[in-house]
């Protein structure tokens, strides 16, 4: 089965490719010659995942899935949430995002947060939704060199390591994206 993963994030693409069974051929946006920026104008993660999946299905006629992920921090009323990638503004810069977040949490002891991933699968004319949540806390400074995004400052509950200190295999077992992708894979495996 061929499936397009509607992302330009090569880190996410590689992370997901490792999890999928060999029976699924994962195509990137580049593989289908989709080079336009797909707008993410929804106010929810699920809404943005739907926009991206629908864009590929309608304009390129491929079965596909898309995700949107956000870091929701309790002390910040769920922010940055849907705006996680552009939290410090344009252009997208994760170092600026991390600095802004750590600065906003300087005066609070409440560092509880969670990552949430929403996945929208468009398959043979039907739409399916999957999600994954990983609870944890925001560290006071960066720890680790692996991963991407907010991984160096997020420590999942029950772990002594940040996401950026884990191997991709360790992270995928417990991460928000890993949990959502596992639900997607379970669903797809029932079809074959």
The CA distance from 109 to 142, in Å, is 17
3-state secondary structure of 73: strand
**Looking at 68, 109, 151, 157, which residue is catalytic?**
68
Q: Catalogue the E-assigned strands of 96-147.
A: 112-123, 126-138
Helices 176-191 + 10-19 axis angle, to 10:
50
The CA distance from 161 to 163, in Å, is 6
The CA distance from 40 to 43, in Å, is 9
Per the annotation, the verdict on 157 as an active-site residue is: no
Q: Beta 64-73 vs 154-156: how paired, if at all?
A: unpaired
Catalytic residues, which ones?
Answer: 68
């Amino acid at each position: 089965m061929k499936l397009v993963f509607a992302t330009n994030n090569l880190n996410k693409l590689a992370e997901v490719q490792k999890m999928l069974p060999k029976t699924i051929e994962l195509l990137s946006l580049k593989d289908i010659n989709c080079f336009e920026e797909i707008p993410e104008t929804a106010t929810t993660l699920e809404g943005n995942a739907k926009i991206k999946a629908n864009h590929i299905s309608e304009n390129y006629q491929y079965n596909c899935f898309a995700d949107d992920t956000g870091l929701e921090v309790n002390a910040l009323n769920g922010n940055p949430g849907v705006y996680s990638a552009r939290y410090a503004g344009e252009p997208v810069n994760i170092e600026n995002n991390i600095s802004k977040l750590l600065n906003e949490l300087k005066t609070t002891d409440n560092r509880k947060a969670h990552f949430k991933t929403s996945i929208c699968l468009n398959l043979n004319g039907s739409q399916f939704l999957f999600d994954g949540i990983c609870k944890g806390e925001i560290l006071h400074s960066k720890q680790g060199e692996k991963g991407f995004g907010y991984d160096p400052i997020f420590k999942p509950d029950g772990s002594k390591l940040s996401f950026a200190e884990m191997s991709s295999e360790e992270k995928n077992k417990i991460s928000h994206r890993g949990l959502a992708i596992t639900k997607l894979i379970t669903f797809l495996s029932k079809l074959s």
